[in-house]
Structure 1
Amino acid sequence: MNEQTNITLLKEIAELLNEETEMIPMLKGALSKFLHGTNFETGWIFFINEKGKSQLVAHEQLSEALSYNDCQYLKKGGCWCVSKFRNKQLKKASNIIECQRIESAIEDQVGDHAGITHHATVPLQSGGERFGILNVAKPNTVSYSDDELELLESVAFQLGSAIKRIYLTKQEQEMALVKERNRLARDLHDSVNQLLFSVTLTSRAGIEMTEQQELKSTFRDIQQLTQAALTEMRALIWQLRPKGLESGLIDAIKSYAEMLNLSLVVNVSGVLQFPSRVEETLFRVAQEALNNVRKHAGVREVEMFITITATDILFVVKDEGRGFVNDPDMKLPSIGMQSIRDRVQALSGTADWVSEIGKGTELLIRIPY
């Protein structure tokens, strides 16, 4: 490709990156445009977290061998490019002498490899922040030219800046959401919560002021209903603004259980160091699980287990209450349970229940980490 064509391609990619607001469509679109504008025929992108765990987040025009079984050979195993990135030795666009992932796919004869045997790689970064790597390849090519690697670096620079922009945008959106939750929680506390509290005081006074038993009974009913509504309102305020989360996940969960008048025992194994999104998801799941115990289990004792392994977070909530008929082929029996599953699945995790009438319930959460 000549210099003018390269400039045009980079301009088109820049325009696409500037328009996109969602990460995966942006990566796939930029990769597709790059492949169509160059001699490269296939490409894939790994995100690599601080622990060195890689995740295949985008790919375009893979060979039959590399796309086999949902990209099995790209998702598993080791390779030079990921190792060099983890060790902070991958600084610029480079030729790969060998790729274990490609070699394994070819050796196992799982499909046509379309002449793809070697690839070029480049880190995706912005300033001091590192996000992952971009790999591209073309058939029957062992080494890529300096011009090709220079163009690849230019695209990687654009991608790194766009990735950081989207991350920053997401952070701003999360901060705005927290701010709005705080406002709603404050409004509920200052208005509806105070009104309900006033009704409980009024009904209590009514009980003391009348001698008629029917009126006393009516005031007691009003007081009990209002007290139940007040408890629900306080729980809702907690869900909007989780007081205590700044002091740690466990303290926040224990405080919430105490507010619901539940006796909670927490067992922790491993170091609790989560990204904010994971921490809030666990807190919301715990809230919903404790609400279910209070409303349906018929017991006040709950046990919770949090285990952190090298790859997963295991989160278990257990009670010895009434239990329920748990049919995996049927829809979940409550909106709260569906909410738990939706929250966990948003983090690529799983949520399951083990329950039997009269023998309690266990909520089992697994989130990749």
Structure 2
Amino acid sequence: MVEEKHHSEHLILKEIAELLNKETKVNEVLPSVLKKLLQVTGMETGWIFLVDEKGHYELAAKENLPPALSSQDCSLMCKGDCWCLDRYNDGRLEKATNIIECKRIEDAIEHNWGETQGMTHHASVPLRAGSEKFGVLNVGSRNKTHFHADELDLLESIAFQIGTALKRMKLIQKEQDIALTEERNRLARDLHDSVNQILFSLSLTASGGREMSDHPEVKETFSYIQDLAQEALTEMRALIWQLRPQGLENGVVSALCSYGNMLGLKVKTEVKGVLSLPGRVEEAVWRIGQEALANCKKHSQQTEVKIQFKSDKNVFIMSIEDSGCGFYYDKNQELPSLGLKSMKERTEAIKGTFDIKSKPGKGTKIKIKVPI
């Protein structure tokens, strides 16, 4: 009997491991592995919280949640505190544990938020690899108020597998980010050493040709060529900046000011709060700001732009505003340009919100709000 039990547990861990090894993206692997976990263990309900270094959490996967927890797009699961997260954040949740009662379900019953389908308790297991923690795995079933030691041991083994896979994916993503940065730097160097120099030479040649000629039409042609070369040179320098954000080591405020000045804009900044952004957020904010400043240069018909930065412990806000020609914008319609769509996509990729206000003759204001 004991051998059959060990054999069954071995098969469960093998199936979970095979599934984890197939996937490389967190948002794809966690729902799949949670579904498989419930199938092979006979549990009914499960959910996974991913928790960052500051204690902020997100509902990364869910399966068969009762209506009380899944109603209103799982809003009850996506906000507020609970006992399993409290224990995780203060270090008390170190291994698979019986949660005596689920606070979220208690709240749902108290406020009559929906049917709980007989579920009152769950087991909580930290997702970890070595000393690094990633979140919490919760599983439960209707009318199940206690998990035996062997059930908790199995859940802990599965959670360790998941934690190890999350660490592997994190390392892979870091390697990909490094490789992408190196490739951007290589392209920036190549553009600077080749195309940038050619355009500079073309501008000088056109200037010399204009000075050497006495024919008005020839002079005009050389002036036109020089203007085109200068415009292309400015565009190329902007592209090189986008590939390799020089000055970002001094912070996103300094980098955007320098970029705006390079475009020929007068940038006024206002900073409220201490800006200490996670690397991924700072990179996205930098790219969004670049696109917004480039749009100001191309379309606003103004040379002044105002950037406001505001930060507190939970939220970062950046707004970029010009008093230029503006345009008609209806928020119920699709964004009118690829640049605006790109800014919106970058903002949403870091779980932020993107807002734009513009009217003909009234200028344009772009605002992003990002949780940090």
**Preserved CA contact (<8 Å) 2:274 2:312:** no
- Where do 4+ consecutive residues of structure 1 move more than 6 Å? none
Match of 1:328 in 2: 331
- How far did residue 112 of structure 1 move? 2.6
Which segment drifts farther, 22-31 or 167-176? 22-31
- Give TM-score scaled by structure 1 length: 0.97
Residue 348 (structure 2) pairs with residue 342 (structure 1)? no
Match of 1:253 in 2: 256
C-alpha separation in 2, matches of 1:357 and 1:29: 49
Find the residue that maps to 2:270 and give its secondary structure.
strand
Find the residue that maps to 1:327 and give its secondary structure.
coil
Which segment drifts farther, 306-315 or 229-238? 306-315
Among all aligned residue pairs of Structure 1 and Structure 2, give the percentage whose two residues are the same amino acid.
50
Find the residue that maps to 1:112 and give its secondary structure.
coil
Residue 310 (structure 2) pairs with residue 313 (structure 1)? no
Superposed, 1:1-369 pairs within 5 Å as 2-369=5-372
Across the aligned residues of Structure 1 and Structure 2, the Cα RMSD in angstroms comes to 1.3
- How far did residue 329 of structure 1 move? 2.9
- Unaligned 5+ segments in structure 1 are none
One-letter amino acid of the structure 1 residue matched with residue 18 of structure 2: E
- How far did residue 19 of structure 1 move? 1.4
One-letter amino acid of the structure 2 residue matched with residue 288 of structure 1: E
Which segment drifts farther, 165-174 or 347-356? 347-356
- How far did residue 367 of structure 1 move? 1.5
Question: Can you list the C-alpha shifts for 1:67-113, whole angstroms capped at 9, x where unaligned?
Answer: 11211222223211101111111111111112210112233333331
- Give TM-score scaled by structure 2 length: 0.96
Question: Can you list the C-alpha shifts for 1:151-184, whole angstroms capped at 9, x where unaligned?
Answer: 1110111011000000111111111111111111
C-alpha separation in 1, matches of 2:342 and 2:56: 28
- How far did residue 149 of structure 1 move? 0.6
Question: Can you list the C-alpha shifts for 1:228-262, whole angstroms capped at 9, x where unaligned?
Answer: 01100100011011111122211211111111111
Find the residue that maps to 1:2 and give its secondary structure.
helix
Which segment drifts farther, 264-273 or 105-114? 105-114
Which segment drifts farther, 204-213 or 350-359? 350-359
**Preserved CA contact (<8 Å) 1:344 1:351:** yes
Tell me the matched-pair count: 369
C-alpha separation in 2, matches of 1:103 and 1:48: 22
- How far did residue 333 of structure 1 move? 2.6
**Preserved CA contact (<8 Å) 1:73 1:102:** no
C-alpha separation in 2, matches of 1:9 and 1:253: 52
- How far did residue 368 of structure 1 move? 2.0
- Unaligned 5+ segments in structure 2 are none
C-alpha separation in 2, matches of 1:121 and 1:223: 69
**Preserved CA contact (<8 Å) 1:43 1:62:** yes
